[in-house]
Amino acid sequence: MGKMAAVVGSAATIAAEPGEDAFRKLFRFYRQSRPGTADLGGVIDFSAAHTGRGAGPSAHKVVRSQLSVSSVNEHDAHRAGLQPVSKWRAYGLEGYPGFIFIPNPFLPGYQWHWVKQCLKLYSQKPNVCNLDKHMTKEETQDLWEQSKEFLRHKEVNKRRPRSLLEKLRWVTLGYHYNWDTKKYSADHYTPFPSDLAFLSEQVATACGFQGFQAEAGILNYYHLDSTLGIHVDKSELDHSKPLLSFSFGQSAIFLLGGLKRDEAPTAMFMHSGDIMVMSGFSRLLNHAVPRVLPNPKAESLPRCLETPLPAVLPRDAVVEPCSVEDWQVCASYLKTARVNMTVRQVLATDQDFPLEPVEEKKRDITTEGFSHLDDKNSQVKRARLNPDS
């Protein structure tokens, strides 16, 4: 796997620190990389793969992935805000079986709904977030209402205190992930959002995973100084099911490595609307996000987010209208941020959680949760940042 790393130019020659593994070496390089220079020359850009241009020197490793076009009808795709599957482009990487990358398959404007849901709806109680450790449920009851005035005037006074939404680092849905025990449990569950479950089902089915059930979600909220530490997602009890990852907002660099951290990772861009599906062998590989990339135009939105959500939606769409007022708040937030939704099926069909001894009963993550998402302002020690590592 080490030979597959997308490493060129200065990235190949940087010196390793004492005791530093190959993954950490590349993580550190991209964390300190300079956009617009040769530093990012080895990063694969799947959005340019179909043109043969701009995919980077490792483009020969990029292969087309086959989708199950007939398994998702156009109407169901439209209900979730997706283009017909026949129009999607899907790619894989040689040496990474089970990895599928789908560059933005969303219909124009429909990303607005998912961004709004992440900021306005999914952040609400009874869902769990990183702020619960330091605040009461009453204080975090409605982060949107408490924050929208701050965000609406964000550009007027950049030195103002950050709103609660801007302090949000993660939210868990469905079976709530326990950052301390690195486990899910039957007794800590809230209803999984039906719209996100439907979207996930369509994407999983198109990738050949019939009967996928969205049971747990982790939303990560990144700012320009945020990183996601090196980790493996292995807490789900059924590893045969895929992990789905949806990105919105500013672009980022994603590193996909091997089973061991001494294997150098492959770097790729994640742009707004991009979807990654990890299953099989790739389901248990080390991965990380070392860098969120500022927009070259400075505090502006990706072009795909400039198109508004259509005024007329399918009658049975899971997507809801987004008001101008709501989108102004979302747009203000995303000018310097990105949001990532990962969706998992925790249990196999007809599977139950194993019984645990009473003395090992899990602690309540609403008071003891920790995030694996880091930024320069985080007070959480780095030793606690990487789930499942």
User: Which residues are annotated as part of the binding site for Fe cation?
Assistant: 231, 233, 287
CA 256-261-265 angle, 5° bins: 30
If DSSP codes are grouped into helix, strand and coil, which group holds residue 266?
Answer: strand
For the chain, the helix, strand and coil percentages under 3-state DSSP, each to the nearest 5:
30, 20, 50
Structure tokens at 74: 């156009």
Angle of CA points 331, 333, 335, to nearest 5°: 70
Instruction: Please answer whether residues 62 and 55 qualify as being in contact, where contact means their C-beta atoms are separated by less than 8 angstroms.
Output: yes
CA distance 40 to 269: 10
The token pair at 267 is 């770097």
Phi (first) and psi of residue 202, to 5 degrees:
-65, -45
Per the annotation, where are the binding residues? 231, 233, 287
Angle between helices 324-334 and 143-152 (to 10 degrees): 80
Q: HSE of 177 in the Cβ direction (CA atoms, 13 Å)?
A: 29
